[in-house]
Amino acid sequence: MSNKTIAFIGTGNMSYAIIGGMLKNGFSARNIIATNRNQEKLDKVAQDFTVQTTSDNIDAIKRADVIVLSVKPQMMEALCETFRLANIDLTDKVVISVAAGITLARLKEMLQSDAKLVRCMPNTPSLVGLGVSGLFSQDINEQEQRFIDQIFSATGMTVWLHSESQINDIIAVTGSSPAYFFLFMQAIEEKAKALGFNEQQARQLVQQTALGAAQMAISQPDISLEQLRANVTSKGGTTHAAIESMKDNQLPLTVANAMDACIARAEEMEKQI
Ligand SMILES: NC(=O)c1ccc[n+]([C@@H]2O[C@H](COP(=O)([O-])OP(=O)(O)OC[C@H]3O[C@@H](n4cnc5c(N)ncnc54)[C@H](OP(=O)(O)O)[C@@H]3O)[C@@H](O)[C@H]2O)c1
């Protein structure tokens, strides 16, 4: 691994997941700095990982080659202002923002700097090493791209996007979609309970089935999802009855509409922040 120093500014859930993945994947703790304004959260990071921790963002970014900005979108402006006031030279540093709803143009405006900027949209399964991170940049060279790819590959798979607007699409496809799956699982769980399964059974039955279905799809990449579904749907059978009912109730259209609503919200946030 490279000897570059990576600073995580605002080490909450997302940064915690990325740091954990990096350490498992051969990055040296010595090259990672984690900051947080909340001392309790910082203490937890220090306790769980052997990375450097500090509440001094300015010191951390001065020492870093790559900076991951991981505060909530509405806090980004105030954070960037502290960098501006400290007069830090970000030229030659790579600044990665994982915040939803902040375009690279807006981030550049906030930083008022010529730093090399990257947008990244990870998702929560990164917490268990099965995440997807969508990435976009126009500023970095191949070597920097490879390095950033290694960082985010540590929490799952990465996909480099061709245009910044695809970041909002990836929010709908992978960023928000863990919640769609949880809602679907929850609906099956609720019905299982209504049918008499106890709470623990209902939960275990639905999660094992979701895992099995995902694993079947992963282990048979040449078979389309349509075909996998057809394989368990004999005409006139029980699954056929269930699927027809879902189609009658426009399930595919409901999902497509939900994803459009997600993209529209991301676009709206970009205008507000
Ligand atoms: N979680 C996800 O699924 C997900 C997915 C994709 C992208 N993201 C993006 O990732 C970013 C972080 O999300 P998260 O879920 O990790 O949030 P989080 O758990 O709230 O982590 C952010 C941390 O940064 C701290 N902080 C805020 N301002 C700071 C400052 N000026 N200096 C140092 N620390 C500061 C916060 O402290 P306090 O606790 O005191 O507020 C908080 O502990 C967000 O922009 C979000 O849009 C998250």
- 13's CB contacts (< 8 A; 6+ apart) are 124, 127
Query: Per-domain residue ranges for the chain?
Result: 6-170, 177-270
CATH of 6-170, one of 3.40.50.720, 3.30.70.1450, 3.30.470.20, 3.40.1280.10: 3.40.50.720
Candidate of 8, 11, 36 to mutate for ligand 1, largest count of ligand atoms within 8 Å of Cβ: 36
pLDDT of residue 272: 87
Give the pLDDT means over successive 10-residue stretches in the chain (273 positions): 91 93 93 96 94 97 97 96 94 95 95 95 92 97 96 96 96 97 98 98 98 98 97 95 97 98 94 85
Does the beta carbon of 129 sit less than 6 angstroms from any atom of ligand 1?
no
Does the beta carbon of 120 sit less than 6 angstroms from any atom of ligand 1?
no
Runs of H (alpha helix) within the chain: 13-24, 39-48, 57-63, 76-85, 104-111, 142-153, 166-170, 177-194, 199-219, 225-231, 238-248, 251-272
From the alpha carbon of 10, which atom of ligand 1 is closest? 24
User: What's the 246 CA to ligand 1 centre distance in angstroms?
Assistant: 37
pLDDT of residue 1: 60
Does the beta carbon of 70 sit less than 6 angstroms from any atom of ligand 1?
yes
pLDDT of residue 30: 95
Considering only CA atoms, which residue is closest to atom 4 of ligand 1?
123
**Separation of alpha carbons 135 and 149, rounded Å:** 9
User: What's the 165 CA to ligand 1 centre distance in angstroms?
Assistant: 23
What does 114-166 look like in DSSP terms, one character per residue?
--EEEEEE--GGGGGT-EEEEEE-SS--HHHHHHHHHHHHTTEEEEE-SSTTH
Structure tokens at 39: 């001392």
Does the beta carbon of 68 sit less than 6 angstroms from any atom of ligand 1?
no
Considering only CA atoms, which residue is closest to atom 45 of ligand 1?
99
pLDDT of residue 108: 96
Fold topology of 177-270: ProC C-terminal domain-like fold (1.10.3730)
Collapsing DSSP to helix, strand or coil, 113 comes out as coil
Does the beta carbon of 73 sit less than 6 angstroms from any atom of ligand 1?
yes
pLDDT of residue 202: 98
pLDDT of residue 2: 78
Does the beta carbon of 14 sit less than 6 angstroms from any atom of ligand 1?
yes
Candidate of 8, 14, 102 to mutate for ligand 1, largest count of ligand atoms within 8 Å of Cβ: 14
Does the beta carbon of 123 sit less than 6 angstroms from any atom of ligand 1?
yes
Does the beta carbon of 37 sit less than 6 angstroms from any atom of ligand 1?
yes
